[in-house]
Structure 1
Amino acid sequence: MKSANGIPLRVGVFGLLGSGNLGNDGSFEALLGYLRSAHPDAVVDALCGGPEIVATRYRIPATRLHWYRGEYRTASRAGAIAGKGLGKLVDAFRTAAWVRRHDVVIVPGMGVLEATLPLRPWGFPYALFLLSASGRLFGTRVALVSVGAAAIRSRPTRALVRWSARLATYRSYRDTLSRDAMRAMGVDTARDEVYPDLAFALPTPPASTPTGRPGPVCVGVMAFSGGNDDRARAEEIYRRYLDGTTRFVRALVADGRPVRLLTGDEVDAQVVAAILDAVDSPLVTAAETASLADLMKEMAAADSVVATRYHNLLCALKVGTPTLALSYAAKSDALMARMGLDAYCHPAREVDADRLLEQFRALEQSAADVRRTLTERNLTTTRRLEHQFTALTAAVFPAVQAAPATDHTHDHALRETP
């Protein structure tokens, strides 16, 4: 893809990529697949959390998102506090200079407009605001693609998120709840669309053939301690989640079921270690996963999945494995409802092992029907994502006349209702 003067267009990708979160990296991989297929001549680089990993794994140039390397560590000493403060000023100039070098900058998926997990306004929200403001200043098109959003109570965070969205050239959301949340925060969403999460565009591994015998259960865990408004109760929430999940795994082992523990972020390793130590059974093992592709392979080989992290749920649903959500935010409930499994949600804040076991057994009894439902919903999801990529090309790559990726007679039927 080239600009009008024949020079390849420069496309930047922005986010907490290469930082240990498999969901973020999976959305990035899906976007790269689109760019390399639809715009193969584009020159792509990234401003991200883990530039060394991104550069090595995806073979594109990458720049560190924050000048100050201790950005996400708590600053208690004067030197660290000063370093963080100076870093905010330096990042304003660094981000502006990086944005200015590009024709288009894309933020691929991720919950960049929400605070469902602990978040400080001067961390990523500030970085995202710098991105959108720089794009508006220099005429670089900024696209927020299939992103997650949620209502935010903190005024500074809400203001930064609102202006980040307002200043972007293009916005789409991964669920209707996200679009509604941005509208409630004062963003005009009249032209914004809802599309599935970008990770649904990743290749799907083949599912295992049911043997008729009880098989392995994948349990996706999370270092869950509540959201941004739960800081005072964080330890209590974490302990309750860990205890309930451990009891559930112990009950599966008592039934003779092999259990594979899965994670979605490096911080989840502490939960895996605690469960392995508490249950102490050869039936419980931990999978080593470095990507959403690895997660999907594990889940495709399982009879069923019980998972907490959003992208763990997504992977299980994508491969068509019967799935039960330990839901920690409305986005998880919305995803399960979208895929026809809203009856199989359990609150992560109040894990009741006995009730969870009942829901799990009901899920397995309905496994055949659930698999058929997921097959149908995944077909619709694939068509919607094809339409998303066509719309993205038209919106932020106006010099390109893209071939239609979908039969546009279906557009009205596929469009999300407000």
Structure 2
Amino acid sequence: MTRASAAEQPVRVGLFGLLGSGNLGNDGSLEAVLGHLRAEHPDAPVDALCGGPEVVTDRYGIPATRLHWYRGEYRTASRAGAIAGKGLGKLVDAVRTAAWVRRHDVVIVPGMGVLEATLPLRPWGFPYALFLLCASGRLFGTRVALVGVGAAPIGNRPTRTLVRWSARLAAYRSYRDAQSRDAMRKMGVRTVRDKVYPDLAFALPTPPSPSPDEPSGPPNTPGTVCVGVMDFHGGNDDRARAEEIHRRYLDGTTRFVRALVEEGRPVRLLTGDACDAPVVTAILEAVGSPLVTAAEVASLADLMKETAAAGSVVATRYHNLVCALKTSTPTLALSYAAKSDALMAEMGLAAYCHPAREVDADRLLAQFRELERRSAELRRTLTERNGAAARRLADQFAELTAAVFPRTARTTADTLTDTTTHTNTTPHTHASTHTHAQSLRETP
């Protein structure tokens, strides 16, 4: 193949992560990146290496391969056969991942908390899979981009080592908040050229608020409170008291919902992952009121429709918060990690965080009433912050193109140069972005 014909070949793009596995936030990040690829790189063939390939193919229309060879990867292995299967799977996955990476020019890890351990996590699970991806990318010259990812300090040494080397081997890194970048810097990754942008889910379209007489939308009763729940057992360092943390979270949240119902307030329970269903069931049974209903959601778009129809939101999962904030609905966070606090502060609602590990229903009610008292003011604040987030994410996607689609970036640069020849201006912004992207590719 000649150099000219090689340059005309479309860039082969892979998407990687725990996608299609039941976590709506992960799938929302995938959807945001797919939207960008289809708009800006429509000729690029795209496929995925992911946790739920059937779901990804059915929902998003792209070919997908299972992330792990061993299907019981995320089940606890107690018998000898299961332990042997997991061990063999690690070796097979190294070969499978390398072969998959080699078929691509670019692999994108779309958002997600891939560089953190704020929930229970074993080093030989996803951290090992991410390391295989990034190491294979460096070996075969495939550009691996960690786009808008979350990171946090990690206490477990093997997990921290795998995460640190994954980040170092990636060709491009950006983060969804400043503390994620700071966490990687403290773990020994050079982050001076890495940038921070809003979570990728802020790039998704915002659904219009349903009209009160809309027959098919979520209930739009004035005063409805959406309460987003989570099967929360603490973080990676809380395993010894996981059940105590869960019981305290469930009891406090249930008391809060019951107090709202006693005031005649309709409550709509939301989830963000398939594993949250038992928490919904427990609250429905404990409260036992027709005022409490459970939403059936299959995407972040569904979540946004629910939050747009609500008067206010109290939520635990990070992307429940994102959906509520994106619809400019006054929101209170049951915060289980620093990322939730950072998100709320970025959107102007820092005062409305409550610790998920120690839910105090009385104090939560007091915070909630203050939130509702300032509802009109907070909606204006959120509308302004959402506009700023959309502009920054446009910059994120432009930088991503310059960093990992070099042929496209060069074509764009040539077009800009031709234009400025006639207009007698200089494209400083694009030039600096391209230089920055080139520097990222050269920095391990």
For normalisation by structure 1, the TM-score amounts to: 0.95
The equivalent residue for 2:174 is 172
Q: Where does 1:4-403 land on structure 2 (aligned, <5 Å)?
A: 4-207=6-209, 214-401=222-409
| Matching residue's letter, 1:305 | V
How much has 1:336 moved relative to structure 2? 0.1
Q: How many residues align?
A: 411
Q: Which deviates more from structure 2 when the two are superposed, residues 130-139 or residues 396-405?
A: 396-405
Contact 1:3 1:399 in 2 (8 A): no
Q: How far apart in 2 are the matches of 1:58 and 1:339?
A: 30
Q: How far apart in 2 are the matches of 1:284 and 1:17?
A: 30
Q: How far apart in 1 are the matches of 2:359 and 2:163?
A: 31
How much has 1:214 moved relative to structure 2? 4.6
Change (3 A) 1:36 1:256: same
Change (3 A) 1:10 1:369: same
Contact 1:210 1:303 in 2 (8 A): no
Deviations 1:120-142 (A, max 9, x none): 00000000000000000000000
Deviation above 6 Å: which 4+ runs of structure 1? 209-213, 404-407
Contact 1:3 1:9 in 2 (8 A): no
| Matching residue's letter, 2:147 | V
Change (3 A) 1:306 1:407: farther
Deviations 1:309-361 (A, max 9, x none): 00000000000000000000000000000000000000000000000000000
Deviations 1:175-230 (A, max 9, x none): 00000000000000011000111110000012357999952100000000000000
How much has 1:4 moved relative to structure 2? 4.1
Deviations 1:268-291 (A, max 9, x none): 001000000000000000000000
Contact 1:4 1:399 in 2 (8 A): no
**Residue 350 of structure 2: SS of its match in structure 1?**
coil
**Residue 320 of structure 1: SS of its match in structure 2?**
coil
Larger radius of gyration: 2
Deviations 1:374-397 (A, max 9, x none): 000001000000000000000000
Q: How far apart in 1 are the matches of 2:350 and 2:91?
A: 45
Q: How far apart in 2 are the matches of 1:377 and 1:208?
A: 22
Unaligned 5+ segments in structure 1 are 413-418
How much has 1:5 moved relative to structure 2? 3.4
Q: How far apart in 1 are the matches of 2:221 and 2:309?
A: 13
Change (3 A) 1:214 1:357: farther
**Residue 46 of structure 1: SS of its match in structure 2?**
strand
Contact 1:276 1:285 in 2 (8 A): yes
Deviations 1:95-152 (A, max 9, x none): 0000000000000000000000000000000000000000000000000000000000
The equivalent residue for 1:415 is none
Q: How far apart in 2 are the matches of 1:144 and 1:381?
A: 19
Q: How far apart in 2 are the matches of 1:134 and 1:328?
A: 33
Change (3 A) 1:64 1:369: same
**Residue 192 of structure 2: SS of its match in structure 1?**
coil
How much has 1:368 moved relative to structure 2? 0.3
How much has 1:9 moved relative to structure 2? 1.4
Contact 2:221 2:266 in 1 (8 A): no
Q: How far apart in 1 are the matches of 2:7 and 2:389?
A: 37
How much has 1:6 moved relative to structure 2? 2.1
Q: How far apart in 2 are the matches of 1:223 and 1:39?
A: 38
How much has 1:34 moved relative to structure 2? 0.3
Contact 2:316 2:356 in 1 (8 A): yes
Q: How far apart in 2 are the matches of 1:398 and 1:216?
A: 49
| Matching residue's letter, 1:289 | V
Contact 2:149 2:176 in 1 (8 A): yes
Q: How far apart in 2 are the matches of 1:323 and 1:255?
A: 19
Contact 2:222 2:310 in 1 (8 A): no
**Residue 324 of structure 1: SS of its match in structure 2?**
strand
Contact 1:162 1:182 in 2 (8 A): yes
The equivalent residue for 2:217 is none
